[in-house]
Chain A
Amino acid sequence: MTTEPRHPHLLKMTDPPTMVGHRCITCERVAFPPDPYGCENCGSPASTFEQWDLEARGSVQAVATVHRHHRSTPVTPFTVGVIGLVGGPVVKAIVEGVGVAVGSTVEGFLAHDEPDNEGNVVVDLRFRVVE
């Protein structure tokens, strides 16, 4: 039995969880997700990047509730937000709970999927509104 994040290289399982991006040492651009190839701003190779922790906290810039989806998960309806992180990058992520609106402050948490047959649990970063 283990508990694993779905994308281990994107997350540190702290409480609250920490998002892992990159910072280009050459031009100081911070980006999320971390890129394995190179910097879109200055062209430096990814070997010159440093890992860059980002607080999973930000404000909602746009929101949409999805009613039709081509896969069985996430179960519809679910809500996706565009979130401007306090650390700079803008991400899209699932936002759970009621009262999500443009301007809401949200923070990350680890949502648990159903355990598989061996009892292994996969967790995913999602956001919820900060009261």
Chain B
Amino acid sequence: MNAPNLLSARPVFVVGIGLHQYQRRSDATYVSLGLTAVRAALVDAGIEWADVEAAYTGTALLGMGASRIMLSRLGATGIPMTQVENASASGSSSVAQACLEVASGRSDVVVALGVDKPRGGLGAAPGNAGINNLEGGSVVPFTHFALLASEYMNLHEVSDKQVAKVAVKNHRNGSHNPFAQRQKIRTLDEILTEPISGSLTRLQCCPVGEGAAAVIIASEDGINRLQIDRSRAMQVVASATKTEGLYGDGVGIDAALTAETGGAAFEEAGLGPADLDVLEVHDAFAIEELLYAEALGLCQPGEAASRIESGDFDIGGSCAFSPSGGLLAMGHPIGPTGVGQIAEVVRQLRGEAGVRQQSDARVGMAHMVGIGAVCVVHILRKP
């Protein structure tokens, strides 16, 4: 069936953003992390907690029932609260659910947040599916992506130094982001030390820490009723979610899934890759940015490394890739990550990103993939 385009029938906007810095695991409770982000988002939107009609909490690691013990400390208003788990895309899916709820007309003002604290291992369900594989536990995510890097570098005659330049760029971007877990500029030589797997080094792998991010999603009716500043409200024009299909033996799953999901998002928005001014991608490992730049159609296959080297994906280039620092520098605390991407895109479209600002940014995309595999893509536009 052809689903009605809810996001154009009843437009939805991000009207508030708030973050707790991503950081190494600390003594802070997830409740304090989450409340910091939601309070900041309420202040940013200029609304009260009592104005919020529903909450979606993206979390993969906290265990059941995370929301109410946290959000009731803003006032036990009795609103519906739901946890959303979709692996690394949990936060992105909480945003998708909030957008759907507002677009459907059920609510005018909904908060989507992500919060997590790392624990030993990820506890991913597929490991308990009873499908034993040959590699057992020897292929963890960084090796999965190291193998994709090997394939990519061999196919396109790209060097490990060229791939590492993604990390140089994203660490530089993260150095200007007060919410980033890694805020140090790194040289190419520093990036290339400490091998982890294949060509991937420690600084080409994202840190998994703790943190929180929140965005407030509102309808036009909500904006009008609560007298929210229209000039700072950024429209969500596409929200696409897909899971892995059968792409044929040997085809890179993550890139193929990204191409499908990104394509669906572009179609929903009536936009294309050339329209993007900012792009936050799932750069958990440096090679991914190259794969997704090509999968999303920002350049031809094999071209992404030279585009990185030319500065075309820098802040100030044709499309700023991971201006927040991305997962590589801002960090990947799992639940918050996808929400934090939306916050960065909104900040960019508002023109409030300071030294990280991509000039005249009008259209931005946020992209996450997660174990499953799942992929969630949002496109936002300055009205």
**Which residues of A come within 8 Å of B, CB atoms?**
6-7, 9-10, 19, 32-33, 35-37, 40-41, 61-71, 74, 78, 80-82, 84, 88-94, 102, 125
Q: 10 closest A-B pairs (Cβ-Cβ)?
A: A64-B198, A64-B146, A62-B151, A62-B150, A62-B147, A102-B154, A90-B249, A92-B135, A67-B195, A66-B197
How many of chain B's residues touch chain A, expressed as a range?
A: 20 to 34
Does chain A have a CB within 8 A of B69? no
Q: Give complex CA distance A66, B200 in Å.
A: 9
Q: Which residues of A contact B132 (CB under 8 A)?
A: 7, 9-10, 33
Q: Which residues of B contact A66 (CB under 8 A)?
A: 138, 143, 146, 196-198
Most A-side CB within 10 Å, residue of B134, B137, B151, B154:
B134
- Of the A-B pairs whose beta carbons lie under 8 Å apart in the complex, a sample of 7, sorted by A's number, is A7-B136, A37-B131, A64-B199, A78-B138, A82-B150, A91-B135, A92-B133
Does chain A have a CB within 8 A of B130? yes
Report the minimum CB–CB distance from B30 to chain A (whole Å): 24
Contact with A along B93-136 (1 / 0, CB 8 A): 00000000000000000000000000000000000001111111
Q: Which residue of B lies closest to A68 (CB)?
A: B196
Cross-chain contact A63 with B250 (CB below 8 angstroms):
no
Cross-chain contact A90 with B250 (CB below 8 angstroms):
yes
Cross-chain contact A33 with B149 (CB below 8 angstroms):
no
Q: Give complex CA distance A84, B250 in Å.
A: 7
Cross-chain contact B151 with A33 (CB below 8 angstroms):
no
Cross-chain contact B135 with A102 (CB below 8 angstroms):
no
Report the minimum CB–CB distance from A69 to chain B (whole Å): 7
Does chain A have a CB within 8 A of B148? yes
Q: Give complex CA distance A125, B132 in Å.
A: 13
Q: Which residues of A contact B133 (CB under 8 A)?
A: 33, 91-92
Q: Give complex CA distance A6, B148 in Å.
A: 27
Does chain A have a CB within 8 A of B139? yes
Report the minimum CB–CB distance from A45 to chain B (whole Å): 15
Cross-chain contact A63 with B138 (CB below 8 angstroms):
no
Cross-chain contact B131 with A35 (CB below 8 angstroms):
yes
Q: Give complex CA distance A80, B246 in Å.
A: 23
Q: Give complex CA distance A130, B318 in Å.
A: 47
Report the minimum CB–CB distance from B128 to chain A (whole Å): 13
Q: Which residues of B contact A74 (CB under 8 A)?
A: 138
Q: Which residues of A contact B148 (CB under 8 A)?
A: 62
Q: Which residue of A lies closest to B250 (CB)?
A: A90
Q: Which residue of B lies closest to A33 (CB)?
A: B133
Report the minimum CB–CB distance from B105 to chain A (whole Å): 35
Contact with A along B238-249 (1 / 0, CB 8 A): 000000001001
Cross-chain contact A102 with B150 (CB below 8 angstroms):
yes
Q: Which residues of A contact B196 (CB under 8 A)?
A: 66-68
